[in-house]
Amino acid sequence: MKETLANRESQLEVNSTLTYKFKERFSRAVLYVVLTLGALLVLMPFFWMISTSLKMPSEVASMPPRWIPSVFMWENYSEAWNMAPFAKYFFNSCYVAITCTILELITSALAAYAFAKMEFFGKKVIFMVFLGTMMIPGEVMLIPNFMTIIQLKWIDSYKALIVPWMVSVFGIFLMRQFFMTIPNELHDAAKIDGCSRFRFLWQIVIPLSKPVLVTAALFKFVGSWNSFLWVLIVTNSPGMRTVPVGLSFFSTDVGTDYHLLMAASTFALLPLLILFFFLQKQFIQGISRSGLKG
Amino acid sequence: MKKFLLMALLVVMVVSMAMPAFAAEKITVTFWHAMSSGHGGFLQKLIDDFNASQDEIEVVGIYQGSYGDLSKKLLGAVASGEPPVVAQMYEDWTTKFVENDKIEAVQWYIGSVFTQEEIDDIIWSFQLSNSWDDTMYTMPFNKSTNLLYVNLDLVDKVPTTWDELVEQSKVATKDVDGDGVIDIYGFGIRPTVDTFNIFLRQAGGDFLDENGKAIFNSQAGVDALQFLHDMVYKHKVAMIYQGYLNEPLGEGKLAMYQDSSAGMPYAAQAVGGKFAWTAAPLVAGVQAAAPFMGTNLAVFTDHSDEVKSAAMEFLKFMVNTENTAWWAIQSGYLPIRYSALETPEWEEFVAADSKNAAGPAQFDYGTFDPKPDGWSTIRDIIGDYVQQALLNEMSIQDALDAAAAEANKILGF
């Protein structure tokens, strides 16, 4: 009797493991199908961009759309490259994006630490005011900010491209949320050992916050790389402009040279793509922990 | 005496040494424009030619993005007292600046830079659209108009009136495979303010009265929209299409449409030699009327007299007979003076292709958008209501009344 009972139990166990395994496999299959479809959907515009960048102008708007060009026009790339001083634009874009990113990380980390771990008069109010500035659309501030830059005589300089962007409320907010999850006990322990606040931030908080730093940095870098209107407004000479201004050369009010624009977009995208490949892991960690996406 | 000679020699030497240095100090004229791609190249060629034609003035052309970007930047720069010397501008942006004495009038330089004949030679309707209170402030530069695009294989003749347009649309409209669904439409309508503009003017109407009050909800406005509405729903010979109409034309699914002359290269690209086509003057309703659009060149007041004179010299060069003809032939915009139409280059251009004559054929009945401050916003409002009327979401009269009421609120009535 005892034996049969044990037998039965093990039988049941086997059955349930089987159904469990089957269920798991099935749900995995569904998951992969959905993810593959999603990936294809996301990749389609990229594919269209690259395919269009190799088309002849007459093929660009043909209906039904051609996915593979009949002739591969590699010369579109050299033609697009020569439409504007892209080498200079790439240098400016890299210089401005890297500098802005580093400066923003420094200012954001300092401010976020103060908001997360220190007590001072009016902390909540100041933080709310900071957040409030995020609600003002950028377009509203564009002209006043431009006028400020004119008064400072910063027009057509790297200062105008970098200084206004070295602080970001979004960066402060992102880091503050992360810093708040770091236990205060760590600070107490460090303080007992004679550690200053700055050293605590630099040697303990920052190393613990790598994912959020990478996320903030990527957001900033991508934002800075893509910024167009501000660059156009505060600069005049071609030597001070960046890649997105170069991309605007291909459009007019009566039509767009899509084949050249897509060729230029492809080479404009490369630096971001390379950056993302290297920092993928941290970027995804940062998103899953902070609950934010681009 | 010896001493005097020596002194004189010294003075001559110093002056002669200083002279080239003075001559090298050129007057710089900054010129903000929105011409990218191919047009930007043609514009730069004109600027280079001007700089090479004399050695006192150096014009620096600066690309400032699209017209929208340029307008934002101008607004900020003028408010800060740091405008460029010359800029491309639409009339309604100019109004705001003229009211604040920010624009140097071309007319003030007749006698010093321009001759009266030179000004009289400019197409009359362009002179009018560049004038505020009877003073010509700006110089017309890149101007385009609307034309009638026709697939010649689908119609019996190119229509010239509203009635003929309906007639020929009926000829062209076909259900090729007999499934009860129309495959080829006679006429294409983009439900926009620009389409409404064409038919409003041809119906004898106008957007604003002489006091600047919106009156486009008048009988002429209703007639214009009713005509378009009938083409679609009563005669069933027209289609409403949101995209660029050169696409269905090129695919052979549309026989005719009216749109900007600047789109001609795109129509040619879409047709690609598949059938015979043309671009003709617009059809006439109660009257012949053709809207013209495009920007003008303006000189800002916040500069020294020397710089402003130099800028006017530049404007004079840009639109002289030879250059306006060259610019029009290269870019597809229209020449801005009568004498350009008689140059051998232009005559050759027109002889090569009759389509090139269609735009200038409309000079005598050209119309322009009104230019009050805020007109761009009003255009968007009218466009919204025109679309609602043509899509049967609102009655024609209600839509026009609502649009006029909103426009008048902005205009201060």
B35, B39, B76: residue with CB nearest A233: B76
Contact between B150 and B256 (Cβ < 8 Å): yes
B73/A232 touch (CB, cutoff 8 Å), yes or no: yes
- Residue A157 covered by a domain: yes
Residue B242 neighbours by CB under 8 Å, 6+ apart? B190, B191
- Residue A68 covered by a domain: no
User: What is the separation of C-alpha B248 from the centre of its chain, rounded to a whole number of angstroms?
Assistant: 25
The rounded percent of chain B whose pLDDT value lies above 70 is: 94
Task: Find the domain containing A17 and state its range.
Answer: 2-53
Task: Please report which confidence band the pLDDT of residue B123 belongs to, taking 50, 70 and 90 as the band edges.
Answer: very high
Contact list in B for residue A255 (CB cut-off 8 A) is 263, 265-266
* A104/A192 same-domain check: yes
Quote the minimal CA–CA distance from B401 to chain A in Å.
31
* A105/A236 same-domain check: yes
* A43/A89 same-domain check: no
B260/A254 touch (CB, cutoff 8 Å), yes or no: yes
Residue B267 has a pLDDT of: 84
- Residue A73 covered by a domain: no
Contact between A200 and A114 (Cβ < 8 Å): no
B251/A249 touch (CB, cutoff 8 Å), yes or no: no
* A12/A96 same-domain check: no
* Nearest residue to B93 via CA among B400, B375, B307, B396: B375
Mean pLDDT of B34-57: 91
- Class of B25-143+294-356 in CATH: alpha beta
A228, A250, A253: residue with CB nearest B67: A253
- Bridging pattern class, strands B135-136 and B131-132: antiparallel
* A139/A205 same-domain check: yes
Task: Give B139's strand partners.
Answer: B297
Nearest CA in chain A to B74: A233
Task: Give B150's strand partners.
Answer: B256, B278
- pLDDT tens per residue across span A109-147: 999 999 999 999 999 999 999 999 989 888 888 888 998
Task: Please report which confidence band the pLDDT of residue B17 belongs to, taking 50, 70 and 90 as the band edges.
Answer: very low
* A165/A25 same-domain check: no
Contact between A94 and A271 (Cβ < 8 Å): yes
- Residue A71 covered by a domain: no
Token couple for B16: 């002669």
Sign (positive or negative) of CA dihedral B396, B402, B403, B404:
positive
Contact between A95 and A159 (Cβ < 8 Å): no
Distance CA B195, CA B193 (A): 6
Residue A250 has a pLDDT of: 85
* A17/A155 same-domain check: no
* A49/A108 same-domain check: no
- pLDDT tens per residue across span A172-203: 999 999 999 888 888 889 889 988 888 999 98
Task: Give B91's strand partners.
Answer: none
B69, B262, B272: residue with CB nearest A254: B262
Quote the minimal CA–CA distance from B2 to chain A in Å.
54
- pLDDT tens per residue across span B197-232: 999 999 999 999 999 999 999 999 999 999 999 999
Sign (positive or negative) of CA dihedral B184, B362, B297, B130:
negative
Residues of A with CB under 8 A from a CB of B: 57-58, 61, 63, 83, 142-143, 146-147, 150-151, 155, 228-229, 232-233, 236-237, 245, 248-255, 257
Residue with tokens 């798991």: A24
User: What is the separation of C-alpha B165 from the centre of its chain, rounded to a whole number of angstroms?
Assistant: 25
Distance CA B92, CA B89 (A): 8
Token couple for B54: 């004399």
Contact between B112 and B89 (Cβ < 8 Å): no
Nearest CA in chain B to A250: B37
Residue B313 has a pLDDT of: 96
Contact between A204 and A188 (Cβ < 8 Å): no
Residue B8 has a pLDDT of: 63
The rounded percent of chain A whose pLDDT value lies above 70 is: 88
- Residue A195 covered by a domain: yes
From-to residues of CATH 3.40.190.10 in chain B: 25-143+294-356, 145-291+367-411
Mean pLDDT of B83-95: 93
Please calculate the CA angle B93-B257-B38 and round it to the nearest 5 degrees: 55
- Hey, what amino acid is at A266? T
Token couple for A100: 């802005």
Token couple for B294: 């495009």
Question: Count of domains in chain A?
Answer: 2
- pLDDT tens per residue across span B313-368: 999 999 999 999 999 998 889 999 999 999 999 999 999 998 999 999 999 999 99
**Chain A, chain B: beta-carbon pairs less than 8 Å apart:** 73
A18 pLDDT above the threshold of 70: no
Contact between B267 and B277 (Cβ < 8 Å): yes
- pLDDT tens per residue across span A219-273: 899 899 999 989 999 999 888 999 999 998 888 766 677 888 999 999 998 888 8
Fold of the B145-291+367-411 domain: D-Maltodextrin-Binding Protein; domain 2 (3.40.190)
Distance CA B258, CA B309 (A): 41
Phi, psi values for residue B11, rounded to 5°? -60, -45
Token couple for A150: 């004119």
Residue B23 has a pLDDT of: 47
Which range has the worst mean pLDDT, A58-72, B102-116, B178-192?
A58-72
Token couple for A59: 């093929």
What mean pLDDT, rounded, does chain B reach?
91
Sign (positive or negative) of CA dihedral A277, A278, A280, A281:
positive
- Residue A74 covered by a domain: no
Q: Where are the alpha helices (DSSP H) in chain A?
A: 2-53, 75-83, 86-117, 123-133, 138-151, 158-162, 169-179, 184-192, 197-200, 206-208, 210-226, 229-234, 243-248, 258-290
Which range has the worst mean pLDDT, A144-148, B19-23, B76-80, B236-240?
B19-23
B37/A229 touch (CB, cutoff 8 Å), yes or no: no
Q: Give the domain CATH number at A271.
A: 1.10.3720.10
DSSP-derived letter for residue B122 is B
* Nearest residue to B332 via CA among B142, B89, B87: B142
* A86/A18 same-domain check: no
A162 pLDDT above the threshold of 90: yes
Sign (positive or negative) of CA dihedral A51, A54, A57, A59:
negative
- Bridging pattern class, strands B238-240 and B185-189: parallel
Residue A99 has a pLDDT of: 95
* A8/A106 same-domain check: no
- Hey, what amino acid is at A290? S
- pLDDT tens per residue across span B223-272: 999 999 999 999 999 999 987 888 889 888 999 999 888 778 778 877 88
A3 pLDDT above the threshold of 80: no
Nearest CA in chain A to B79: A147
A45 pLDDT above the threshold of 70: yes
